[in-house]
Structure 1
Amino acid sequence: MCQLLSISRQGYYEWVKRKPSQTKLRHQFLEKEIKRVYEENKGRYGSPRIALQLYEEGIETNKRVVAVLMRKMSLCAKGYHHRISSYGQPKAIETAVKENFLNRQFSQDAINAIWVTDITYITCTDGRLYLSTYIDLATRIPRCFKVSHHMN
Structure 2
Amino acid sequence: MKILSIHQESQGVYGPPRITAELHDRGEVITEKTVAKIMRSLGVSGISPRTFKVRTTVIDPFASFPDDLVQCQFDQGRLDAVWTSDIAYLTCGEGDMYLCAIKDEHSKKVLGWSVADHMRTELVLGALEMAVAERGGNAAGTIMHSDRGSQYSPASGGPPR
User: TM-score when scaled to structure 2?
Assistant: 0.32
Higher relative contact order at CA 8 Å, sep ≥6: structure 1 or structure 2?
2
User: TM-score when scaled to structure 1?
Assistant: 0.34
User: Larger C-alpha radius of gyration, 1 or 2?
Assistant: 1
Greater helix content: 1
